[in-house]
Amino acid sequence: MSITTDRFAGKTAIVTGAGSGIGRATATRLAHEGARVIAADVAPERLVELAAELSAYNVVTIAGDITAEEVVQKIVAAADGRVDVLANIAGIMDGFLPAAEIDDATWERVFNVNVNSIMRLSRAVLPLMIAHNSGAIVNVTSEAGLRGSAAGVAYTASKHAVIGFTKNTAVMYAAHGIRTNAVAPGAVITNIEAPMKSQHAAGVVGPLLQVVVPAPAEADRLAAAITWLASDDADNVNGQVLASDGGWSAI
Ligand SMILES: NC(=O)c1ccc[n+]([C@@H]2O[C@H](COP(=O)([O-])OP(=O)(O)OC[C@H]3O[C@@H](n4cnc5c(N)ncnc54)[C@H](O)[C@@H]3O)[C@@H](O)[C@H]2O)c1
């Protein structure tokens, strides 16, 4: 993909999950469009690869688990007091476990990564955005945030929670010039692990997924939606959930 704009020149963007998939594509696009990117991921080797690939651009990498408050503080400290864009992209799946089979560890880990980290990072970044009276937060939800048939119960509930967090934050800080939106990807070709660990789920949602899911998209196509919402082109858009899913959510 050739990028010819400089929508993010002079801006600082935090991207979580920047080592792989949608986060990596988004960090790359933001850097190519002029942003200083704080790229965070729990997998250090992925960040080393990203930094090498983007060595001509302004990229700082922070390795660590974003569910830990000290890692969140490190990420925000790297921004030197200015955050124009926060792209909360890191997320994990749940083995498609339904309510009768979900274990506490899976439920808690999925919520910690998919929801609590968004709360922690937003809580840390919002005072900086408020001080500058501007900012854009883009959270990644999922088709599973829009319907009950795209994952297990923990992932589905967590991605619905991301939408609630997005809408409340959009309302609370609109008057401070801060926009908060979400992107709901359909199937995307990434490294996310999505094993079907439940026979019950395989029987119930397996056939549905085979019938209705459009062809998986490249991660670049999600980066396009995320960066649009993060850019001034979307300056009248707040509290919205933009599905980038080849039409899945219309079925
Ligand atoms: N791939 C899809 O089909 C799809 C569909 C809908 C939604 N999503 C969502 O898109 C987002 C990105 O997923 P992806 O498909 O690009 O996956 P991916 O696994 O390719 O990339 C996610 C990255 O997040 C990092 N990460 C995971 N847990 C972390 C943690 N605790 N701290 C820091 N980094 C962490 C991983 O190391 C990985 O590099 C997720 O929120 C996912 O739920 C993906």
pLDDT at position 204 is 97
Amino acid at 103: D
- Which helix (H) or strand (E) segment holds residue 13: the answer is strand 12-16
Digit-coded pLDDT (tens) for 93-151 = 999 999 999 999 999 999 999 999 999 999 999 999 999 999 999 999 999 999 999 99
> 131: CA distance to ligand 1 center in Å?
30
> 237: CA distance to ligand 1 center in Å?
24
Is the distance from the beta carbon of residue 220 to the nearest atom of ligand 1 less than 6 Å? no
**SS3 per residue for 106-171:** HHHHHHHHHHHHHHHHHHHHHHHHHHHCCEEEEEECCHHHCCCCCCCHHHHHHHHHHHHHHHHHHH
* Count of alpha carbons within 13 angstroms of residue 140, beta-carbon side: 30
Catalytic residues: 155
Nearest to 75 by CA among 21, 18, 139, 115: 18
Q: Average pLDDT by consecutive 10-residue portion of the chain (251 residues)?
A: 81 98 98 98 98 98 98 98 98 98 98 98 98 98 97 98 99 98 98 95 94 94 98 98 97 92
Is the distance from the beta carbon of residue 142 to the nearest atom of ligand 1 less than 6 Å? yes
Report residue 77 as tokens: 């400290």
Name residue 135's beta-bridge partners. 178
pLDDT at position 137 is 99
* Torsion angle in degrees (nearest 10) through CA of 121, 123, 125, 127: -170
pLDDT at position 4 is 63
pLDDT at position 165 is 99
Query: What domains sit in the chain, N to C, each tagged with a CATH number?
Result: 12-245 (3.40.50.720)
Please tell me the distance from the alpha carbon of residue 201 to that of residue 75, in angstroms, as a whole number. Answer: 37
Is the distance from the beta carbon of residue 90 to the nearest atom of ligand 1 less than 6 Å? yes
pLDDT at position 212 is 87
